[in-house]
Structure 1
Amino acid sequence: MEWFDAERYTIAREIAQRGVAAVYVLAFVTVLRQFRPLLGERGLLPVPSFTERVPWRASPSLFFARYSDRLLVAVGWTGVVVAAALVAGLPQQGPPWLPLLAFGVLWVLYLSVVNVGQTFYGFGWESLLLEAGFLVAFLGSDAVAPPWTVLALLWWLVFRLELGAGLIKWRGDPAWRDLTALYYHHETQPMPGPASRLFHLLPRPLHRVEVAANHVAQLVVPFGLLVPGPVASTAAAIMVVTQLWLVLSGNFAWLNWLTIVLAASAVDDGSWAAVLGLVGVDAAAAASAAADPPAWFVVVVLAVSALCVVLSYWPARNLVSRHQRMNASFNPFHLVNAYGAFGTITRRRTEVVVEGTRDADPEDATWAEYGFRGKPGDVRRLPRQYAPYHLRLDWLMWFLALGSSAQLRWFVPFLAKLLEADRPTLRLLADDPFGGERPRWVRARLYRYRFATPAEHRATGDRWVREDQGLMIDAVDLRRLARGG
């Protein structure tokens, strides 16, 4: 079935299915390690409270029937095991319904997590993983060639992802248009990485070149995906290099790695053969011997493809709109979404520093800081590389520092957990200055942070310079928090 089978994209299918499955492994590990203290029965934003006030049709999830931390663990481990099997390629060795079923399980389970995850799961890469996982389910198994329509939908996904990110920048902050955005971004991004300071200290003319190159990569190169073959393969290679640059310069969870995997789906087997030095070898030889797909598989793939084409109306309209939405889902199933990032650049970095004391009088107390795993705190510490792992609490601390009052819904309960010395909550942190004992008081201060110059770093050993900006929340104890004070 030449009109249906894409025999020249078997390597692309392997990378897409195994790569997306690998990200699912990471996502479910994150669920197991972070979900309960953030959203569990005794979490900061408990799921049972959410499901009481939000109808299922607005946010479909298995947890509407019943939520318990034990059930959450079962969901997490099921996701890890099924995703790991797909990374190993085991379901792909069977009939085409087997990987479809495996990815379907991952999609349903992770959709159930995201749709009750509230602000802790309000990131664009959650929708990206759900959409990618849904699509690669229909790429079939090794028994059949990958379908053209599903590959085209993956390329359409990458096109929307990159072009949407480019347009939201061009239409948004003027710093992107005058090429000055990277004067600030490496320093003010949500979670700098170990090399972010070095990137920030690059000469400003080079920053302007970086921004211009980003515009080319996101506003021009995606159109190359519309020409399958060497042109699309070259466009994908440029995107991969651009994403690796972002991996080096910051911590953006699995966004960059998943984009790399999806971009690789546009590289045909001939291009892979050339890159790997296998010129003259037919990398699709195995596919030529693949059986014709069963009729049910053709019908299902065409029906799903038609559905995605219909759903594409809303993100396509969003791309051409002057009021483009960033990281928007147009349906509760997170299928065919709108993407984008950093339409506005923060010029100054403000950090919320949480402190506690065991002294009785907060007015004359010695305060100690809680240390977070990823967000800046200790001015001497080299930022860690956590991506593609996602530190959800640390990311929300960045949004909190931007002054969003909505973030207080979880932050005030977080302070209460610190006052209780709640062990699951403390395990989310890098350092508890009280060794598991309860503090008497906690408070939150605001600091302005900037990267130290080379001279400042040589003189002090500090990687950050910070300036006290005053109190955000004055000293509170459990009694005051209970009173709403």
Structure 2
Amino acid sequence: MTWEWFTDPDYWASRLLFQRMLAAIYLVAFVCAARQFRPLLGERGITPIPRFVAATPFRAAPSIFYLRYSDRLFATVAWTGAALSAALLLGLADSAPVWLSMLLWAVPWVLYLSIVNVGQVWYGFGWESLLAEAGFLAIFLGPADTAPPVLVLWLLRWLLFRVEFGAGMIKMRGDRCWRDLTCLYYHHETQPMPGPLSWYFHHLPKPLHKVEVLANHFAQLVVPFALFAPQPVASVAAGVVIVTQGWLMLSGNFAWLNALTITLAVPVLDGRLVERVLPGSRPELTEPPGWQLVLVVALTVLVTVLSYRPVRNLVARRQLMNYSFTSLRLVNTYGAFGGITRRRHEVIIEGTDDPEITPGTVWREYEFKGKPGDPRRRPPQVAPYHLRLDWMLWFVGISTHYGRTWLPGLVAKLLAGDRATLRLLRRDPFPGSLPTFVRARLFTYRFTTARERRETGAWWVRDPGPTIVRPCRLSPDGTPEPVA
């Protein structure tokens, strides 16, 4: 059986660059998991995995941690995934036999899916499912010395289409400001985690903000269809996606969402263009074995069948955003920022070591690594790293409903001076001691004006708001106990 109709050697460099970039994102994701799981999901974490797997059937969240869980095993899984991702980044699978290459790409997919499926609220982000879906398709691409299978390349285009078009449609069906072109009057200031340049983006002239929104609509509602066009149109469409996502990377911190979307655009690029910038030259490519053809055709049929519900969702009046229709997260629906908040409400957690609360009690603030706190601190660059606790506190600022299952546990950890939890923070206001009381308040934040910035050196102006967690002390059973 010939592979002439099922492979395209001209996409050799595009595939290779895609695999390298995907391996780099896998590496970041596994390192994030290894460094943050213990206080969030560990045996003594805020939402422990053992408790989750005991209450959730395996078929709803397949994971190797249903066989057994320990913090040591989780760390082994995460660091193994990181090591294998680093090896793939360095070209471990390039000259491997096809079966071994597929196995090497299947292992990080299984390991990361196992983490995501037990990750609960900490892993409820669209880029987690996106990485799982992209990682599954990558299994079937084959090593660098075989010709790339065309069907898999088209499935990657289909994934990129759903990411971009889904995001565009959720905006057009969502907040009115996307239709009147005013959403970016607010978004750079109220987004989950502003970056070092977000203050400058926010202060761009309003007409330019409207141009930004128009460009976004064009990139997400028109350009995705051109991904399926012949070259060079498809490469131009991929270039628009790359530029747009790069703009988003500059304007804020969205973990690895933008980097992964750029990665998905790479295999759309004409490989002859990519070869000009990659070191080395194309090797003598061999035809993949016939059994790989069978698997690729089966994969295409599977994705086609599973695409029914995501397609129906795209045209539905009540479009779901970032939803997985299967527990293996194979063909998902995507979208982002269907609604834009107009004011930024930031959760500020404070503690005191006073023995009793009085009108003169001095409260000291816990400082987080990424989210706004000290108004004089410039928003840091965090992405592609994902600070999960900081992100979840942004959701609590929108509605305390988002913190009902885990915020009390965080307060208890701070009262107990839990070292693993404190390592998630930038600054502990009680080094070497424990607070007697902890509380959480909402503050309204806004970016300083240019004049305020010059006069005060601050990036933010904030005003205190309501208390959302009353002052608590640690009860004998280890839970936070509100005081009158």
TM-score normalised by L of structure 2: 0.96
Contact preservation (8 Å) 1:36, 1:42: yes
Alignment match, 2:316: 321
Aligned pairs for 1:5-404 (under 5 A) are 5-272=7-274, 276=277, 286=283, 289-363=284-358, 364-404=360-400
Is 1:473 the counterpart of 2:469? The answer is yes
Quote how far apart the aligned CAs of 1:470 are.
Answer: 2.4
What is the CA–CA distance in structure 1 between the aligned matches of 2:116 and 2:230, rounded to whole Å?
A: 34
What is the CA–CA distance in structure 2 between the aligned matches of 1:156 and 1:436, rounded to whole Å?
A: 54
What is the CA–CA distance in structure 2 between the aligned matches of 1:340 and 1:228, rounded to whole Å?
A: 26
Query: 2:442 is paired with a residue of what secondary structure?
Result: strand
Letter in 1 for 2:91: G
What is the number of residues matched between the two proteins? 478
What is the CA–CA distance in structure 2 between the aligned matches of 1:458 and 1:49, rounded to whole Å?
A: 51
Contact preservation (8 Å) 1:168, 1:343: yes
String of CA shifts for 1:159-187, please: whole Å, max 9, x gaps: 00000001100110010000000000000
Aligned pairs for 1:430-449 (under 5 A) are 430-449=426-445
What is the CA–CA distance in structure 1 between the aligned matches of 2:223 and 2:36, rounded to whole Å?
A: 37
Contact preservation (8 Å) 1:95, 1:143: no
Contact preservation (8 Å) 1:86, 1:99: no
Alignment match, 2:454: 458
Letter in 2 for 1:415: V
Contact preservation (8 Å) 1:47, 1:117: yes
Letter in 1 for 2:423: R
What is the CA–CA distance in structure 2 between the aligned matches of 1:312 and 1:408, rounded to whole Å?
A: 34
Is 1:416 the counterpart of 2:418? The answer is no
Is 1:482 the counterpart of 2:484? The answer is no
String of CA shifts for 1:109-165, please: whole Å, max 9, x gaps: 111100100000000000000000110110111231010100000000000000000
What is the CA–CA distance in structure 1 between the aligned matches of 2:229 and 2:17, rounded to whole Å?
A: 20
Query: 1:409 is paired with a residue of what secondary structure?
Result: coil
Contact preservation (8 Å) 1:169, 1:176: yes
What is the CA–CA distance in structure 2 between the aligned matches of 1:385 and 1:436, rounded to whole Å?
A: 29
Contact preservation (8 Å) 1:162, 1:219: yes
What is the CA–CA distance in structure 2 between the aligned matches of 1:257 and 1:10, rounded to whole Å?
A: 21
Describe the shift of the 1:97–1:34 C-alpha distance in structure 2 as closer, same or farther (beyond 3 A): same
Quote how far apart the aligned CAs of 1:284 are.
Answer: 8.4
Q: Does 361-370 or 243-252 show the bigger shift?
A: 361-370
What is the CA–CA distance in structure 2 between the aligned matches of 1:218 and 1:206, rounded to whole Å?
A: 18
What is the CA–CA distance in structure 2 between the aligned matches of 1:113 and 1:250, rounded to whole Å?
A: 26
Letter in 2 for 1:63: F
Give the one of 409, 427, 443 matched to 2:423: 427
What is the CA–CA distance in structure 2 between the aligned matches of 1:277 and 1:89, rounded to whole Å?
A: 14
Letter in 2 for 1:15: L
String of CA shifts for 1:433-469, please: whole Å, max 9, x gaps: 1114111110011100000001111111111000111
What is the CA–CA distance in structure 1 between the aligned matches of 2:154 and 2:302, rounded to whole Å?
A: 14
The unaligned stretches of length 5 or more in structure 1 are none
Query: 2:440 is paired with a residue of what secondary structure?
Result: strand
Q: Does 27-36 or 469-478 show the bigger shift?
A: 469-478
Contact preservation (8 Å) 2:313, 2:320: yes
What is the CA–CA distance in structure 2 between the aligned matches of 1:404 and 1:148, rounded to whole Å?
A: 47
Contact preservation (8 Å) 1:230, 1:271: no
Letter in 1 for 2:439: R
The unaligned stretches of length 5 or more in structure 2 are none
What is the CA–CA distance in structure 1 between the aligned matches of 2:128 and 2:251, rounded to whole Å?
A: 21
Q: Does 430-439 or 173-182 show the bigger shift?
A: 430-439
Describe the shift of the 1:361–1:321 C-alpha distance in structure 2 as closer, same or farther (beyond 3 A): same
TM-score normalised by L of structure 1: 0.96
Quote how far apart the aligned CAs of 1:271 are.
Answer: 3.0
Contact preservation (8 Å) 2:348, 2:366: yes
What is the CA–CA distance in structure 2 between the aligned matches of 1:26 and 1:264, rounded to whole Å?
A: 19
Q: Does 85-94 or 243-252 show the bigger shift?
A: 85-94
Contact preservation (8 Å) 1:8, 1:284: no
Quote how far apart the aligned CAs of 1:276 are.
Answer: 4.6
What is the CA–CA distance in structure 2 between the aligned matches of 1:404 and 1:59, rounded to whole Å?
A: 26
What is the CA–CA distance in structure 1 between the aligned matches of 2:230 and 2:387, rounded to whole Å?
A: 37
Query: 1:345 is paired with a residue of what secondary structure?
Result: coil
Quote how far apart the aligned CAs of 1:483 are.
Answer: 7.2
Letter in 2 for 1:310: V
Quote how far apart the aligned CAs of 1:5 are.
Answer: 0.7
Name the Cα RMSD after superposition: 1.6
What is the CA–CA distance in structure 1 between the aligned matches of 2:480 and 2:87, rounded to whole Å?
A: 50
Quote how far apart the aligned CAs of 1:346 are.
Answer: 0.5
Contact preservation (8 Å) 2:8, 2:149: yes
What is the CA–CA distance in structure 1 between the aligned matches of 2:348 and 2:66, rounded to whole Å?
A: 36
Letter in 1 for 2:417: A
